[in-house]
Amino acid sequence: MELKLARTELTGKPKTVSLQKVLETLKNDGNSIIYFDKTNTHKALMEAIKEFEGAGYSVYFREVRYGLDADDYLYQVHLL
């Protein structure tokens, strides 16, 4: 499964990362906070959360708004 990471610039394009790559990084770090782009579907993020929980991680998921516009948001996933 491919997910898009949050953009670092408003006009930039989001980078993609595979779910397996995120899980490998978590094995090394232990816990992490990952920001995903708003172009990811909610369904894809829920599937990713199920995979993280299946791998034994506790997951905290929320939508973060960074501006006044309705489209100014990203997804935060905190994995422990």
| Residue 31 C-alpha from the chain's centroid | 13
Quick check: 66 and 77 in contact, CB under 8 A?
no
CA neighbor of 35 nearest in space, from 58, 1, 65: 65
What is the pLDDT confidence band of residue 62, given thresholds at 50, 70 and 90?
A: very high
Task: Give the pTM.
Answer: 0.88
Domain ranges of the chain: 2-79
69 pLDDT above the threshold of 90 = no
Q: 67 or 75: whose pLDDT is higher? A: 75
CA neighbor of 39 nearest in space, from 60, 13, 21: 13
11 pLDDT above the threshold of 90 = no
CATH code of 2-79, in short, is 3.30.1370
